[in-house]
Structure 1
Amino acid sequence: MKVVGVGCGPGMLTAEAAAVIAGATLIYGSPRAIALARAAIRPGCEVHEIEDYGGLRSLPAGAVVLSTGDPMLAGLGYLPGEVVPGISSLQVAFARLKVPLVRAAVVSAHGKDHARAVADAREEVLRGRVVFLIADPAFDVGALAAALPPETRVAVCEDLGYPEERVAVGTGAEPPAVRGDLFVVVAGEF
């Protein structure tokens, strides 16, 4: 099995990922991952939307599993087999904000305890790190902002890589509003 990162938005498929996808005869992915990889999928390839993430470990050895962004950033990189990296939302958000990746502390709130994620993010910001928080649609940016020193910069990065991409920057005292469901948050001194 190969787990292939398809990037966080259109046009972010690496040449290596495109070559693996083009050579595949059996592909599994979310609807979004399949859409991002569609141009590289050859005619006649058997493509399946993932319905049971728990069953992915039992796929045939020749299967290619598509993972949005990079499989090793809260993706499907835990699956057995080779991992082909992708361009992650972390890379794109930090590039847009001109923040060096070495300053990053990653916190995941995607499908996890949001209160714990807020506490972890606060701790990392107080340590001088720039937090990259992987959010889900229910995550409350206001709760994060309220937990931070008021002068802390807070950015909401939405639909990264898509034509409707939006990066809005505020502070802990006046955080930017979230407009959609596909977003990450960057917080700290940047």
Structure 2
Amino acid sequence: MKIVGTGCGPGMLTEAAIAVLGEARLIYGSDRAIALARSHIPEDCEVRTITDYKRLRELPAHAVVLSTGDPMLAGLGYLPGEVVPGISSLQVAFARLRLPLTRAAAVAAHGRDHAHAVETAGREVNRGKIVFLIADPAFSLAELVRALPPATKIAVCENLGYPDERIALGTAAEPPECTAELYVVVAGDF
């Protein structure tokens, strides 16, 4: 099996990912991941939408599994097989904000325990890290900012890599508004 990162937005597939897709005969992915890779999928390739993430380990050895962004950043990189990295939302957000990746502390709240993510983010900001938090539509930015010192800078990065990309800046005392379901939060001293 090969797990291929599609990048976080259109046009962010790597050459290595495109090469794997060009030889694929069976591809699984979310609707979004399939859409990001569609132009590089051969016409004779069977493409299936993932309906049960718990059964992905049962896929045949020749399957290619698409993971949005990079499989190793809260993606499908836990699956057995070769991982082909993708351009992650962390890379794009830090590039847009001109922040060094060496200061990053990644925190996943997408589909996970939000209270634990908020606690971890607060601890990392207090250690001097710049937190990169992967949110989901149910995540509460209000809960996060209550756990941070008021002067902490906050960036809400929405739809990274898409034409409607938006980055809003603020502080924990005056946080930016979230207007999209697909977003990440960057918090810290930057």
Q: Which moved more, 1:141-150 or 1:124-133?
A: 141-150
Counterpart CA distance in 2 for 1:53 and 1:145 is: 32
The residue type paired with residue 78 of structure 2 is: Y
Give me the identity figure in percent.
Answer: 70
Deviations 1:129-153 (A, max 9, x none): 0000010101111111121111100
3-state SS, counterpart of residue 125 of structure 1: helix
User: Offset at 1:28?
Assistant: 0.3
* Structure 2 residue aligned with 1:9: 9
* Structure 2 residue aligned with 1:72: 72
The residue type paired with residue 130 of structure 1 is: I
TM-score by length of 2: 0.99
The residue type paired with residue 43 of structure 1 is: E
* Structure 2 residue aligned with 1:82: 82
Deviations 1:40-87 (A, max 9, x none): 001110000001111110111110000000000000000000000000
Unmatched 5+ residue regions in structure 2? Answer: none
3-state SS, counterpart of residue 176 of structure 2: coil
3-state SS, counterpart of residue 32 of structure 1: helix
The residue type paired with residue 47 of structure 1 is: V
Counterpart CA distance in 2 for 1:160 and 1:10 is: 9
- Cα RMSD (Å) of the superposition? 0.6
The residue type paired with residue 112 of structure 1 is: R
* Structure 1 residue aligned with 2:106: 106
Task: Verify: 1:134 aligned to 2:134, yes or no.
Answer: yes
User: Offset at 1:22?
Assistant: 1.0
3-state SS, counterpart of residue 69 of structure 2: coil
Counterpart CA distance in 2 for 1:69 and 1:111 is: 16
Counterpart CA distance in 2 for 1:16 and 1:57 is: 23
TM-score by length of 1: 0.99
| Matched residue count | 190
